[in-house]
Amino acid sequence: MSSWRSSYLVAGIRLEIVSSVGDASGFLPPNMRDFPPAGGADLTVELKEDERAQADPLKHFFPSKFVLTSRAGELLFEGINGRKRLLGNISTQRDRGELGLPRLDKPWRIVEEREVVEEALQAFLKACLQLRLLKEGGTLLHAAGVAFEGEGYAFAGHTRAGKTTLKRDFPPSAVLGDDLVAVREIGGKLLLFGTPWPGREGGTVAYGGLPLRAVFNLHPELPPGLRRMVPAEAVAELACNAPRLGYAGEEDELLAIFSSASAIAPIYKLSIRLGDDVPSWLEEFRLKEDQEHRQGAG
């Protein structure tokens, strides 16, 4: 009988976590508590006891490099430490995952044991969530997400593109995330969601679920300016900013999702400078786009 369970609504996915190894709440992202509870489950993650993990958690989970490997009926979640070690599995229907863990309610011999278990658990949750999002026509995206005038804006880019710096110009209540957000098509509309994983600085994240007005691919190395990207260029760049799980067929799924997204929301290449007033710039962008839309409709 399961000793602990909880549920959360993340990116429109009803995520249920069931644990027979003790209370898992302390091993989840701290921001997970800010996401609303969910009734029912689109995705269930089961945490089960594993004797090898219990015997030596540090050896079992470290170093923390994980891959997914396709096998008939499931995807294997494996750790790489000289050789692959099976840690868990995810159904190919992408609605259920199982991860083997040591007991979470017993004392740890050294703090590093707890750290690697926490990292593995969160990596597994991300993988499960990403696979379910792909099934639903969505994906995780390395981007800062902000809410502005009731709409969502995503600023995508690599680690040093300026996502974290940019989000500091907005009040915490407007920040959906500064590192990992989710986009998902629902009813012909593309929506932007926050996720429980903030960037390196930590900080606030929010649930989201706002209509995605535009995506900006950040390019600080270019001269300041904004340029709309043609669909093929936009799809290729966005695909580079999605998490990679490494299983067969993943690339085709991502390209299909971003192709659909580029037909719904405009994608831009943007270069701004440190110290620029991003909220004011965004307001000018929004007003200009609204004016051009009215002129086009007329």
Q: What is the pLDDT of residues 56-66, one digit of tens each?
A: 999 999 888 89
Rounded to whole angstroms, the Cα distance separating 137 from 209 reads 15
Query: What digits encode the pLDDT tens for the residues 166-201?
Result: 888 888 888 998 889 999 999 889 999 999 998 776
The domain that contains 285 carries what CATH number?
A: 3.40.50
Q: Does residue 173 sit in the same domain as residue 269?
A: yes
Range with the lowest mean pLDDT among 118-122, 130-134, 271-275, 282-286? Answer: 271-275
Q: Does residue 115 sit in the same domain as residue 127?
A: yes
Query: What digits encode the pLDDT tens for the residues 4-35?
Result: 999 999 999 999 999 999 999 999 998 898 89
Output b/e per residue, 98-116; b: 16+ Cβ within 10 A: bbbbbebeeeeeeeebbbb
What is the average per-residue pLDDT within 72-79? 91
Range with the lowest mean pLDDT among 183-187, 203-207, 237-241? Answer: 203-207
Task: Give, in order, the Cα–Cα distances in Å from 163 to each of 46, 191, 251.
Answer: 33, 19, 24
Cα-based angle 132, 136, 142 (whole degrees, multiple of 5): 70
For residue 51, count other CB atoms closer than 10 A to its CB.
8
Range with the lowest mean pLDDT among 105-119, 155-169, 218-232? Answer: 155-169
Whether pLDDT at 261 is above 60: yes
DSSP 8-state assignment for residue 80: E
Q: Does residue 86 sit in the same domain as residue 99?
A: yes
Helix (H, G, I), strand (E, B) or coil at 258: helix
What is the average per-residue pLDDT within 83-104? 94
Whether pLDDT at 205 is above 90: no
For residue 197, count other CB atoms closer than 10 A to its CB.
20
CA 236 to chain centre: 18
Sorting pLDDT into bands at 50, 70 and 90, what band is 298? low
Sorting pLDDT into bands at 50, 70 and 90, what band is 1? very low
Rounded (10°) CA dihedral 102, 106, 107, 113: 10
**Structure confidence at residue 297 (pLDDT):** 63
User: Which distant-in-sequence residues (6+ apart) come within 8 Å of 78 by Cβ?
Assistant: 66, 67, 68, 69, 84, 85, 86, 87
What is the average per-residue pLDDT within 261-281? 89
How many alpha carbons fall within 13 Å on the CB side of residue 59? 6
Q: Does residue 68 sit in the same domain as residue 211?
A: no
Of 211, 210, 229, 213, whose CA–CA distance to 270 is shortest?
A: 229
Q: Does residue 46 sit in the same domain as residue 110?
A: yes
The pTM (predicted TM-score) of the whole model is: 0.93
Number of domain units in the chain? 2
Q: Does residue 193 sit in the same domain as residue 121?
A: no
- For the chain, give the mean pLDDT: 91
Instruction: Assess contact for 250 and 135: CB atoms under 8 A.
Output: no
**Structure confidence at residue 178 (pLDDT):** 86
| Secondary element (H or E) of residue 44 | strand 43-49
115, 135, 155 - which closes a domain? 135
Q: Does residue 114 sit in the same domain as residue 151?
A: no
Whether pLDDT at 240 is above 80: yes
Q: Does residue 256 sit in the same domain as residue 114?
A: no
Q: Does residue 154 sit in the same domain as residue 290?
A: yes
**Structure confidence at residue 228 (pLDDT):** 95
135, 159, 193 - which closes a domain? 135
Helices (H), the chain: 51-55, 57-61, 111-135, 163-167, 231-240, 250-264, 278-297
DSSP 8-state assignment for residue 39: S
What is the average per-residue pLDDT within 72-91? 90
Q: Does residue 185 sit in the same domain as residue 283?
A: yes
Between 47 and 3, the more confident residue is 47
Of 201, 210, 197, 213, whose CA–CA distance to 35 is shortest?
A: 197
Range of the structural domain that residue 236 is part of: 138-297
Q: Does residue 50 sit in the same domain as residue 155?
A: no
Cα-based angle 178, 180, 186 (whole degrees, multiple of 5): 115
DSSP 8-state assignment for residue 272: -
Of 187, 99, 132, 135, whose CA–CA distance to 13 is shortest?
A: 132
Rounded to whole angstroms, the Cα distance separating 121 from 60 reads 13
Q: Does residue 151 sit in the same domain as residue 56?
A: no
**Structure confidence at residue 201 (pLDDT):** 67
Instruction: State both tokens at 196.
Output: 């429980």
